[in-house]
A and B are shown apart, each in its own frame.
Chain A
Amino acid sequence: MSRPRPPRLAEWLLATQVWPDERPIVLGDFDEQFQRQVQATGAWRSTCWYWRRAIQLVFGLWWWTPRPAWSRGRVMAMDDVRYAVRRLRKQPLTALVSIATLACAIGAAAATWSLISAVLLHPLRVHEPERLVEISYRRETPRGPQTSSGFTYPASRLLREAGFMPAAAWGSIGSQTPLMVQAAGEPRERSVRFATPDFLSVLGLQPSLGRFFSDAEDRPGEPLVVVLSERFWQSEFNSDPGVIGRTIQVRGQPARIVGVAPRKFVDLDLGRAPALFMPLHSIDRVQPWEGLYGERPPVYWVQLVGRLPDGVSLAQMQDRMNALRRESMASLSGTTLVLTDVETAALSETSRADLRKFSQLLGSTVVLLLAIGSMTVGVLLLMRTEARRGEFAMCLALGASRVRLARGVAIEGVLLALSGALLALPVSRMVFAGIRAYRLPGGIRLDVLDLSLDGRVLAAAAGAAVASVVLIAGVASLFALRRDLGDVLRSHTGATPRLTRRHSRAALVTAQVAVTLVLVSGAGLFARSVTHALSLNPGFDTSRLLWGSLDLNGHGYDAARSTVFLDEFRTRLAQQPAVASFALSDGNQGTRVLIDGEQRDLKSVFLLGIDDRYLDTIGLPVLIGRNFTQADRAGAPRVGIVSASLAKAIAGDGSVLGRRISAPPKGVVLHETEIVGVIPDVIRGTTGLQPFRLYLPSAQYSAPVYPGSGGLRLLVRATGDVGAGEASVLATIRAIDPDIRQDAMTTIDAGILEEMAPQRFGTAVMGALGTIALLLSVLGTYVLAESMAVARRREMGIRAALGARGSHLRALLLSDTFRLVGAGLLLGFVLTWLGAGTIRAFLFQVEPFDPLVTGGVAATIITLTLAVSLRPALAAARIDLARVLRDD
Chain B
Amino acid sequence: MPRTALGDVEHFVLIALLHLGDDTYSVPIMDEISRRTGREVAQAAVYIALRRLEEKGLVLSRVGEATAARGGRAKRHFKLTPAGRKQLREVREAFVQMWAGAEDLVRKGR
Closest A residue, CB atoms, query B25: A29
A477 and B32 CA atoms in complex are apart in Å by 54
Asked if B44 and A32 sit within 8 Å, CB to CB, the answer is no
Task: Say yes or no for B96: interface residue by CB 8 A criterion.
Answer: no
Asked if B44 and A56 sit within 8 Å, CB to CB, the answer is yes
A371 and B74 CA atoms in complex are apart in Å by 52
Stretch among B13-21, B65-73, B80-88, B97-105 lining the A interface: B65-73
Closest B residue, CB atoms, query A5: B71
Task: Say yes or no for A263: interface residue by CB 8 A criterion.
Answer: no
Residues of A within 8 A of B (CB): 3, 6, 18-19, 22, 24-29, 31-33, 35, 53, 56-61, 63-65
A565 and B27 CA atoms in complex are apart in Å by 86
Given contacts A29-B25, A32-B27, A33-B27, contact A61 B70 (CB under 8 A): no
Q: Which residues of B contact A25 (CB under 8 A)?
A: 26, 63, 73-76
Q: Which residues of B contact A22 (CB under 8 A)?
A: 47, 76
Closest B residue, CB atoms, query A36: B27
Closest B residue, CB atoms, query A54: B43
Task: Say yes or no for B42: interface residue by CB 8 A criterion.
Answer: yes
Asked if B73 and A64 sit within 8 Å, CB to CB, the answer is no
Task: Say yes or no for B48: interface residue by CB 8 A criterion.
Answer: yes
Q: Which residues of A contact B47 (CB under 8 A)?
A: 18, 22, 26, 57, 61
Given contacts A22-B76, A24-B73, contact A60 B63 (CB under 8 A): no
Asked if A60 and B42 sit within 8 Å, CB to CB, the answer is yes
* The 6 A-B residue pairs with the shortest CB-CB distance in the complex, in nearest-first order: A60-B44, A28-B73, A28-B70, A31-B71, A24-B73, A57-B44
Closest A residue, CB atoms, query B42: A60
Sampled A-B contacts (30; CB under 8 Å): A3-B71, A18-B47, A22-B47, A24-B66, A24-B73, A25-B74, A25-B75, A25-B76, A26-B47, A27-B71, A28-B66, A28-B70, A28-B73, A28-B75, A29-B25, A29-B75, A31-B71, A32-B69, A32-B70, A33-B27, A35-B69, A56-B42, A56-B43, A57-B44, A59-B44, A61-B47, A61-B48, A63-B44, A64-B44, A65-B48
Q: Which residues of B contact A3 (CB under 8 A)?
A: 71
A24 and B67 CA atoms in complex are apart in Å by 11
Chain B count of residues within 8 A CB distance of the other chain = 20
Q: Which residues of A contact B66 (CB under 8 A)?
A: 24, 28
Residues 24-81 of B contacting A (Cβ, < 8 Å): 25-27, 42-45, 47-48, 51, 63, 66-67, 69-71, 73-76
Asked if A28 and B74 sit within 8 Å, CB to CB, the answer is yes
Given contacts A29-B26, A29-B27, contact A60 B73 (CB under 8 A): no
Given contacts A25-B63, A25-B76, A64-B48, contact A31 B43 (CB under 8 A): no
A6 and B72 CA atoms in complex are apart in Å by 13
Q: Which residue in A19, A35, A53 is a CB contact (below 8 Å) of B43?
A: A53
A24 and B70 CA atoms in complex are apart in Å by 10
Closest B residue, CB atoms, query A17: B44
Q: Which residues of A contact B45 (CB under 8 A)?
A: 60, 64
A61 and B66 CA atoms in complex are apart in Å by 24
Q: Which residues of B contact A57 (CB under 8 A)?
A: 42-44, 47
- Nearest CB of chain B from residue A63's CB, rounded to whole Å: 8
> Other than the known A26-B47, A61-B44, what 6 A-B pairs have Cβ atoms closer than 8 Å?
A25-B74, A25-B76, A27-B73, A35-B69, A56-B43, A64-B45
Asked if B25 and A24 sit within 8 Å, CB to CB, the answer is no
A19 and B48 CA atoms in complex are apart in Å by 10
A864 and B67 CA atoms in complex are apart in Å by 75
Q: Which residues of A contact B27 (CB under 8 A)?
A: 29, 32-33
Of A19, A28, A33, A57, the most chain B CB neighbours within 10 A belong to A28
A22 and B74 CA atoms in complex are apart in Å by 10
Closest B residue, CB atoms, query A60: B44
- Nearest CB of chain B from residue A61's CB, rounded to whole Å: 5
A18 and B73 CA atoms in complex are apart in Å by 15
Q: Which residues of A contact B73 (CB under 8 A)?
A: 24-25, 27-28, 31
- Nearest CB of chain A from residue B75's CB, rounded to whole Å: 6
A53 and B40 CA atoms in complex are apart in Å by 11
A26 and B51 CA atoms in complex are apart in Å by 13
- Nearest CB of chain A from residue B39's CB, rounded to whole Å: 14
Q: Which residues of A contact B44 (CB under 8 A)?
A: 56-61, 63-64
A200 and B67 CA atoms in complex are apart in Å by 46
- Nearest CB of chain B from residue A780's CB, rounded to whole Å: 49
Asked if A60 and B69 sit within 8 Å, CB to CB, the answer is no
Q: Which residues of B contact A31 (CB under 8 A)?
A: 70-71, 73
Closest B residue, CB atoms, query A64: B48
A63 and B75 CA atoms in complex are apart in Å by 25
